[in-house]
């Protein structure tokens, strides 16, 4: 059983990292996309991080230097429930400065604010390399796209 399954393709918009916690209860998938110069961080989740988020909800990365990177939600977003499980796809705004900080430092944990509180989860060391690769591929494509305009 592996902690991380990675499915790289040619475009970062298709690059998905699925992470499962040690108990297999929670699963996460991260993607990046852009519209013009606006960049979005997408998180698909199953388990305790799935829930309703508000227009001002934050997603926070705690980094290895004890600094944080905070993302703001794109708006009110819900979740789905079925077969005794909860899942959601939530989208947040992310800046180039945020991406740079995430590339320069390892993520220790993540915090996701929901409408009824927040959930903290450890970010496994083994996830950082693939997470950084996702950001590197996206940034290359983003810079190429922006330069062409």
- Residue 22 has a pLDDT of 56
- Residue 8 has a pLDDT of 36
pLDDT over threshold 70, residue 131? yes
- Residue 55 has a pLDDT of 94
Asked if 30 and 41 count as a contact pair (C-beta separation under 8 A), the reply is yes
pLDDT over threshold 50, residue 20? yes
Higher pLDDT, 117 or 129: 117
Spatial separation of the C-alpha atoms in residues 56 and 62, rounded to whole Å: 19
Spatial separation of the C-alpha atoms in residues 34 and 11, rounded to whole Å: 12
User: Mean pLDDT, to the nearest integer, of 51-56?
Assistant: 94
Mean pLDDT of the chain: 83
- The angle formed by the CA atoms of residues 23, 25 and 29, to the nearest 5 degrees, is 110
> What predicted TM-score, i.e. pTM, was given to this entire model?
0.83
For residue 52, give every residue at least 6 positions away whose Cβ sits within 8 Å of its Cβ, in sequence order, or none: 76, 77, 78, 79, 114, 115, 116
Count the Cβ atoms, other than its own, within 10 Å of residue 94: 23
- Residue 142 has a pLDDT of 84
Spatial separation of the C-alpha atoms in residues 13 and 137, rounded to whole Å: 10
Confidence of residue 149 (pLDDT cuts 50, 70, 90): low
pLDDT over threshold 50, residue 9? no
Listed ranges 22-26, 46-50, 60-64; the one with the highest mean pLDDT: 60-64
pLDDT over threshold 80, residue 4? no
User: Mean pLDDT, to the nearest integer, of 113-125?
Assistant: 89
Residue carrying the six token digits 């604010």 = 113
């Amino acid at each position: 059983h592996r902690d991380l399954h990675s499915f790289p393709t040619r475009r970062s918009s298709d690059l998905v990292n699925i992470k499962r916690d040690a108990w297999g209860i929670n699963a996460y998938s991260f993607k990046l996309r852009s519209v013009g110069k606006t960049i979005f961080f997408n998180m698909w989740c199953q388990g305790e991080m799935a829930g309703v988020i508000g227009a001002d909800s934050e997603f926070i990365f705690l980094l290895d230097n004890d600094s944080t990177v905070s993302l703001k939600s794109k708006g009110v977003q819900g979740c789905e429930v079925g077969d005794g499980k909860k899942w959601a796809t939530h989208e947040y705004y992310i800046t180039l400065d945020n991406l740079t900080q995430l590339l320069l430092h390892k993520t220790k944990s993540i915090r996701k604010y929901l409408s009824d509180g927040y959930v903290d989860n450890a970010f496994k060391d083994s996830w950082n390399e693939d997470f950084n690769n996702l950001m590197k591929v996206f940034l290359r494509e983003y810079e190429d796209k922006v330069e062409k305009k």
